[in-house]
Amino acid sequence: MDAVLRRIKPLNVASTDCGFVDTPMPVFELVDPRDLWVDERYQRGLSERSFSLIRRILRIFDWRRFKPPVVTRTPEGHLHVIDGQHTAISAASHPKVLRIPVMVVEAADMASRAQAFIGHNKDRVAVTPMQIFHASLAAGDQEAAVVARTVAKAGARILRCPPRNGAYEVGDIVSVRAVQSAVASLNPAKARIVLETLVKGGCAPLSADAIKACALILYDPLYAGETTPDEIARAVERLGPDVDDRARREARQNKIPAWRALGQIYHRTAVAGRRMRAAA
């Protein structure tokens, strides 16, 4: 894979558009994670999902993936975690981790600590499944490589992010999870046929509902063998992009998932198309 490097460059912004609070710059310290505290008046409590995350961090613990928790020292001398309590708990639970780096910021009173907590959890851009997939591919993940080969053979592509103008091209995929699920539940060869069928039908983009609907009609025992991939591709092309609205209406009427309603529409249209060709 060719290297794509992007240097950090400043944006052209006016100084009046930049906030600044004259507090001391953060400093890094090495501390025993068991000496950290969490204030549950503004922090999140631990749920089953939290414990699952902590166990996963422990299983794959790696200093290269470690993000130092953000903490503040209270007037009593305690270090309160503002951001990164799951990381801190996993480190405290690891028998070989005795000290961790933390970033210490100044926030003496509870209100300022709570505001800092909100800022850390609000002012961030979430990593999308598409970005995670491409990162996994670059890291040499074998499952990601299988998915990538399957998609390429089908004439499709997994985007890194949705197009800014919303203009998708035929074969564009934004639902990585739907493709991963198809590869895992069917197999790469069958998943390729599903994607290839939608590409031939002119799908732009290949949505999660379209992928699941096409897989349903091709491989579910209730429908398998009743239509061919080419017949479904012609049905998809004939139905066009407005079929999604139609599927949602039928889903509401019949109280079924939208993807299943879409699959039924694909099936009816494919069967009707075959009959029309036979009668011609």
pLDDT digits (tens, 9 = 90+) for 48-99: 888 999 999 999 999 999 999 999 988 888 899 988 899 999 999 999 999 9
Arithmetic mean of pLDDT, 164-174: 89
Predicted confidence band at 147 (pLDDT cuts at 50, 70, 90)? Answer: very high
Give the span between the Cα atoms of 172 and 255, in whole angstroms: 29
Contact indicator for 197, 229 with CB cutoff of 8 Å: yes
Strands (E), the chain: 27-31, 36-37, 70-73, 79-83, 100-105, 157-158, 172-173
Residue 2: pLDDT over 60? no
- pLDDT class for 124, splitting at 50, 70, 90? low
**Average pLDDT, integer, range 7-33:** 86
Distance between CA 233 and CA 199 in Å, rounded?
8
Tokens representing 2 are 């060719």
pTM surpassing 0.95? no
How much is the average pLDDT of 172-195? 96
How sure is the predictor about 194, in pLDDT bands with cuts at 50, 70 and 90?
very high
pLDDT tier at 22, thresholds 50, 70, 90 = confident
Average pLDDT over residues 122-138: 77
Convert the pLDDT of each residue in 207-218 to its tens digit.
Answer: 999 999 999 999
User: What is the reported pLDDT for 204?
Assistant: 93
| Residue among 153, 242, 256, 261 nearest 203 (CA) | 242
Q: What CA–CA distance (Å, rounded) separates 171 from 159?
A: 10
* pLDDT of 44 over the 80 cut: no
**Under 8 Å CB-to-CB from 199, ≥6 apart: which residues?**
154, 155, 156, 170, 171, 206
Q: Fill in the DSSP letter of residue 273.
A: H
